[in-house]
């Protein structure tokens, strides 16, 4: 799939900005509501955010390292790989989407979480992602490769951004759904 690089970054900046705004709204909601779980196996709003914090911390560090090491010029087009495009699109929330299993190390279920710490970390990490998206406006989304949390798998920078931010969107929507049952 071939995309306009500027449009891809613009869409991802918009999504990430919305995630930051959502995090700021959560600071105004009681901890009890953010800790609410519909069942023992389901996640609370704070668990959704903590899951995202775990992944975003990894990807922010990887993206920053790879972009800082590259002086390759910006390319107007971004050509997604088959696998990168599939992973990114599979993360997008959609009607009747299936739940996915997560790595045990990234599963916050039954964790003791502090509202202020989790939400403020979420906002900070999303602001970091927003900064990297701005930096990417002068980077080559095709030629810079990043590792994923599956160490044998590398994605083009454009696919990494799309995958991570679509994953964020998926769990922000999950958090909104959980929160709506407590209001």
Q: pLDDT tier at 183 (50, 70, 90 boundaries)?
A: low
Determine the Cα–Cα distance for residues 111 and 115; give it in Å rounded to an integer.
12
Helix ranges, the chain (H): 5-26, 31-35, 45-68, 82-91, 115-135, 157-180
Quote the pTM value.
0.92
Model confidence at 97, in pLDDT bands (50, 70, 90)? Answer: low
Domain housing 64: 2-180
With a cut of 80, say whether residue 30 has pLDDT above it. Answer: yes
Mean pLDDT, the chain, whole residue set: 92
Whether residue 43 contacts residue 146, with contact meaning beta carbons closer than 8 Å, is answered with no
Domain count, the chain: 1
- CA R_g for the chain: 16
Domain containing residue 147: CATH number: 1.20.120.450
Q: Please answer whether residues 136 and 143 qualify as being in contact, where contact means their C-beta atoms are separated by less than 8 angstroms.
A: no
How confident is the model over 10-17, as a mean pLDDT?
A: 98
């Amino acid at each position: 799939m071939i995309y306009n690089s500027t449009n891809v970054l613009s869409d991802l900046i918009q999504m990430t900005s919305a995630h930051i705004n959502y995090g700021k709204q959560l600071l105004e909601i009681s901890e009890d509501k953010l800790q609410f779980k519909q069942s023992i196996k389901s996640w609370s709003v704070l668990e959704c955010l903590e899951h995202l914090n775990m992944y975003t911390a990894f990807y922010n560090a990887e993206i920053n390292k790879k972009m800082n090491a590259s002086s390759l010029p910006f390319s107007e087009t971004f050509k997604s790989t088959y696998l990168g495009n599939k992973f990114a699109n599979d993360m997008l929330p959609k009607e009747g989407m299936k739940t996915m299993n997560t790595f045990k190390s990234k599963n916050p279920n039954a964790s003791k979480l502090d509202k202020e710490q989790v939400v403020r970390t979420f906002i900070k990490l999303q602001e970091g992602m927003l900064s990297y998206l701005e930096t990417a406006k002068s980077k080559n989304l095709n030629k810079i490769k990043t590792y994923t949390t599956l160490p044998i798998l590398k994605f083009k920078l454009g696919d990494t951004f799309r995958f991570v931010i679509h994953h964020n969107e998926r769990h922000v929507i999950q958090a909104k759904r959980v929160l709506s049952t407590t209001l």
